[in-house]
Amino acid sequence: MIVESLSLRDFRNIAEADVAPCPEINILLGDNAQGKTNLIEALWLCTGNPSFRGAQEKAMVRFGAAAFGLALSFRDRERTQQIRYNMDGRRRKITLNGAPAHRPDLAGVFSAAVFDPVGMNIVLEGPAERRRFLDTAIAQLKPAYARYLAQYHAVVEQRNVILRDPDRYRQFASTFDVWDDQLARLGTILSLYRADYVKKLTPVAAGIYGGFTGFAETFSLSYESTVFPPERVLSVYSDQLIEEYRRVMEESRETDRRMRCTTRGIHRDDAVMEINGLPVRSFGSRGQQRSCAVAMKLGEAHLYRRITGDAPVVLLDDVMSELDQSRQDYILNQIRGFQVLITCCDVSNTLRMESGKIFRVQGGRFAAV
């Protein structure tokens, strides 16, 4: 997958810009607050995902303007496609190859893997960040996953409403069997998706981390379910697994009533990263933690290409900071087979780049060097 051109109008601090990146490494070079990350964010919106900054689209309209507009032309394995993405006040308008589309329609059409400073949260923060990473990555590969996940969260919320205010919803106390049956069916299939993805991602991310360190350290990743024991093999959707999940939900009801929330299920699961057998979150250095986060993101891109045959665009925002020279060299010169866009502030980071294109960014303007 190759971005051929991206046009931006009144997006963040960018009044007007037309950028044509090369098919390999592209460096967006400039001081802070000049517009580098804004371009990365614009590309990410075209995947159908919300902003990785957590911003609402109406906040992305340039100050004083009425609307923003994005026009993306990209090439996949078969053809060149166009996405137009406009936000006018509260009204979003998207077209895909000239036809009206909704944001979920973009899932799997234009695919990207993004790392930004907040991406460190998949290592540093709690399980919710790692679940979000898995959910976003899997949904790009399997759009049905996002539908199952939305259904699951809707059921959990209904169950939690009863748990939070049992006196008010006393008449629904007998409906837990219904909710738990739905959670068991949805939670089991989602557990299988996640366990399969982690199994496939682990050797890929471990190889990338090994490239960072000269294979002096060993990276591992494991999926931790709050329902299924570690020895349970999660590979085939079956009535046995569904019943096991349902039984756990039933056994947890008294605890759930005390805690007033659903305490077990895929919304509480985790994925644990280790270096040399020790949890990175607790024992890793800052450089090791950043390397793990980057390895996970690059592993996501490699795995997507391996499964679909099409390479996602790799978006790396401020990835160079806190990495030593050898790890920076690996990112600049050893990521093969992907179009990569990297933001950085320090021109010295670009001196070791063997090939690619550099854009100087200033005041929302992009100039190829």
The CA-atom distances, in angstroms, between 74 and each of 3, 22, 67, 241 are: 4, 12, 23, 42
What pLDDT, on the 0 to 100 scale, is given for residue 99? 96
Distance CA 82, CA 122 (A): 32
Q: What is the mean pLDDT of residues 303-324?
A: 87
Confidence of residue 335 (pLDDT cuts 50, 70, 90): confident
Which residue is it, tokens 């371009």? 39
Whether the predicted pLDDT of 356 surpasses 90: no
Q: What is the mean pLDDT of residues 254-271?
A: 95
Mark whether 301 and 365 lie in a shared domain. no
Q: What is the pLDDT of residues 8-32, one digit of tens each?
A: 999 999 999 999 999 999 999 999 9
Distance CA 232, CA 241 (A): 9
Mark whether 304 and 315 lie in a shared domain. no
Distance CA 338, CA 335 (A): 7
Mark whether 297 and 153 lie in a shared domain. yes
What pLDDT, on the 0 to 100 scale, is given for residue 23? 94
Confidence of residue 303 (pLDDT cuts 50, 70, 90): very high
Distance CA 185, CA 237 (A): 9
What pLDDT, on the 0 to 100 scale, is given for residue 363? 93
Confidence of residue 277 (pLDDT cuts 50, 70, 90): very high
Q: What is the mean pLDDT of residues 56-82?
A: 93
Residue that finishes a domain, picked among 265, 288, 308: 308
What is the count of structural domains for the chain? 2
Mark whether 91 and 219 lie in a shared domain. no
Residue that finishes a domain, picked among 308, 335, 351: 308
* In a domain? residue 116: no
Its pTM stands at 0.83
* In a domain? residue 51: yes
Q: What is the pLDDT of residues 202-227, one digit of tens each?
A: 999 999 999 888 889 999 999 999 99
Contact 218, 276 (CB under 8 A): yes
Confidence of residue 327 (pLDDT cuts 50, 70, 90): confident
Distance CA 234, CA 201 (A): 15
What pLDDT, on the 0 to 100 scale, is given for residue 151? 96
Mark whether 91 and 146 lie in a shared domain. no
CATH assignment of the domain containing 17: 3.40.50.300
Mark whether 302 and 327 lie in a shared domain. no
Q: Tokens for 366?
A: 């992009």
What pLDDT, on the 0 to 100 scale, is given for residue 314? 93
* In a domain? residue 117: no
What pLDDT, on the 0 to 100 scale, is given for residue 9? 97
Mark whether 333 and 241 lie in a shared domain. no
* In a domain? residue 287: yes
- Residue 122 identity (one-letter amino acid): I
Whether the predicted pLDDT of 143 surpasses 90: no
* In a domain? residue 304: yes
Q: Tokens for 316?
A: 């790396």
Whether the predicted pLDDT of 71 surpasses 90: yes
Q: Tokens for 323?
A: 């990495």
Mark whether 292 and 322 lie in a shared domain. no
Mark whether 300 and 314 lie in a shared domain. no
CB-based contacts of 327, cutoff 8 Å, min separation 6 = 212, 287, 291
Contact 32, 345 (CB under 8 A): yes
* In a domain? residue 352: yes
What pLDDT, on the 0 to 100 scale, is given for residue 120? 81
Q: What is the pLDDT of residues 28-48, one digit of tens each?
A: 999 999 999 999 999 999 999
**Owning domain of residue 342:** 1-111+310-369
What pLDDT, on the 0 to 100 scale, is given for residue 240? 95
What pLDDT, on the 0 to 100 scale, is given for residue 353? 78
Helix, strand, coil percentages (3-state) for the chain, rounded to 5, are 45, 25, 30
Mark whether 295 and 241 lie in a shared domain. yes
Q: What is the mean pLDDT of residues 304-327?
A: 86
46-50, 91-95, 101-105, 324-328: the lowest-pLDDT one: 324-328
Q: What is the CA radius of gyration of the chain?
A: 22
Mark whether 67 and 132 lie in a shared domain. no
* In a domain? residue 118: no
CATH assignment of the domain containing 246: 1.20.1050.90
Distance CA 343, CA 36 (A): 6
What pLDDT, on the 0 to 100 scale, is given for residue 107? 82
Residue that finishes a domain, picked among 291, 308, 325: 308
Mark whether 34 and 78 lie in a shared domain. yes
* In a domain? residue 104: yes
Whether the predicted pLDDT of 350 surpasses 80: no
**Maximum mean pLDDT: which of 173-177, 298-302, 327-331:** 298-302
Whether the predicted pLDDT of 334 surpasses 80: no
Q: What is the pLDDT of residues 109-140, one digit of tens each?
A: 999 988 887 778 899 989 999 999 999 899 88
Please provide the distance, in angstroms rounded to a whole number, between the alpha carbons at the two ends of the chain.
24
Q: Tokens for 222?
A: 């494991």
85-94, 157-166, 328-337: the lowest-pLDDT one: 328-337
